[in-house]
Every structure is written in C-alpha cells, then in structure tokens.
C-alpha cells in the first residue's frame, strides 16, 4: 500500500481520536506531537518544493496586482502588463521596482509595435527606467536596463554612449563596494 502524506495525516488523526476515547493520555500526547511534527515537516517540504519550482520569489509581495502584471509580462501580453503596472504606480509612485517593470513592459511592447508607436513606447521605457534609478540609485536591474537602453537606442530616442558609460561607472562602483546584488 502506497502511503501518501494526506493518508499519513489522516491515520494519525484517527489514532488520536481513538486514544482520546480510550483515555490513554500519554499516548494521546505522543500522537499529537507526531501530528504537529508531520504538519511542520509537510509545510517545510511544500515551501521547499515551491521555492525549487520558482513559485516563491525573493522579492517582497508588494501590491496585489503585481503578480498579475508579472504573469501578463511572462505571457507576452506587454500592453496588459503596462496597464496593470501603471495602476500599481498610481498607488505606489515611489517604488523603483514597479517603474523598472513598467519600463520593461514598454520596451517589450515597443518591439512588437508599429514604428510610430514604438518611438512613443521607447521614450516611455527610458523615462520609466530613469525614474526607477532616480528613486533608488542603487537598484541594479534598473541601472542595467538604462545602460542597455542608452547603448542600443538611436540618438533621437535618447541613446547615448556617454550616458551609458556614466551609469556603467556607477554600476561598477556598486559592484566593487559589494552593494550590487
């Protein structure tokens, strides 16, 4: 017979009830301790499994719409992700992380847009990355995104090797001081 975790917990529960009915206080206490231990072990195993599967993120939970925005981004619905992130930023305008993700969404949306819309979205992406860095000058993902933008964008969209080099020096200082993640 294959013993699964729910079956194991169920057998422990039924044993506890029968011990209590018989008046075996010592055995009841021992079984209750086993139940708590089994539940604790089960919770730990579930948390580890979720962590290994990439479901549990190291980032703080933040706004309840953020998981939906990340899901939309991962599903390549960049316009939906941008809409959700704009709503989040209305509520939390001082979050560098949300501005960074908004810039990513705009940038990816620009890759699939017509030329005129792509220009508008590229400028919005740059503005979002710049805002993220202004809010948190040590936020490495935003610094890296801004460097990439300045390196790859044409001059009429704000691309600049000089600006990229400035942010690269800042990132290098962060890395050498050990504060970059």
pLDDT, one tens digit per residue, over 79-88 is 999 999 999 9
Which residue matches tokens 């000089």? 162
Select the more confidently predicted residue: 121 or 180: 121
Q: 43 and 127 share a domain?
A: no
- Numbers of helices and strands, H then E, in the chain: 8, 0
User: Is residue 44 located within the same domain as residue 127?
Assistant: no
Q: From CA 179, how far away is CA 164, in angstroms rounded? A: 20
- Catalogue the long-range contacts made by 59-67 (C-beta closer than 8 Å, 24 or more residues apart): 59/97, 62/92, 62/95, 62/97, 62/98, 63/88, 63/91, 63/92, 63/98, 66/98, 66/101
127/105 Cα distance (integer angstroms): 12
pTM (two decimals): 0.64
Average pLDDT over residues 114-143: 95
Predicted local distance difference test score (pLDDT) of residue 179: 63
Residue 35 lies in a domain: yes
Range of the domain at 171: 66-177
Residues 86 and 171 both lie in one domain: yes
Q: Are residues 116 and 156 in the same domain?
A: yes
Count of structural domains within the chain: 2
Question: The CATH number of the domain where 135 resides is what?
Answer: 1.25.40.10
Q: Is the pLDDT of residue 114 over 50?
A: yes
Q: Can you read off the two tokens belonging to residue 156?
A: 């009429």
pLDDT in tens, 20-73: 445 555 554 555 444 454 444 333 333 333 333 333 333 455 788 999 999 999
In this structure, is residue 60 part of a structural domain?
no
In this structure, is residue 12 part of a structural domain? Answer: yes
In a domain, residue 59? The reply is no
Contacts of 146 (CB under 8 A, 6+ apart): 126, 129, 130, 132, 133, 167
Asked whether residue 75 is assigned to any structural domain, the reply reads yes
**Quick check: is 92 in a domain?**
yes
């Amino acid at each position: 017979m294959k013993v699964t975790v729910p079956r194991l917990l169920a057998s422990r529960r039924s044993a506890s009830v029968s011990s209590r009915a018989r008046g075996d206080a010592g055995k009841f206490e021992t079984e209750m301790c086993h139940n708590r231990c089994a539940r604790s072990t089960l919770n730990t195993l579930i948390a580890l499994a979720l962590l290994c599967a990439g479901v549990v993120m190291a980032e703080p939970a933040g706004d309840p719409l953020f998981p939906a925005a990340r899901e939309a981004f991962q599903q390549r619905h960049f316009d939906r992700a941008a809409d959700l992130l704009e709503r989040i930023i209305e509520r939390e305008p001082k979050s560098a992380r949300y501005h960074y993700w908004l810039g990513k969404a705009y940038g990816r949306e620009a890759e699939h847009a017509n030329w005129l819309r792509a220009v508008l979205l590229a400028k919005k992406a740059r503005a979002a990355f710049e805002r993220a860095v202004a809010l948190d000058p040590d936020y490495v993902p935003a610094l890296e995104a801004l460097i990439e933008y300045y390196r790859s964008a044409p001059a009429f969209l704000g691309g600049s090797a000089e600006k990229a080099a400035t942010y690269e020096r800042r990132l290098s200082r962060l890395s050498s001081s050990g504060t970059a993640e």
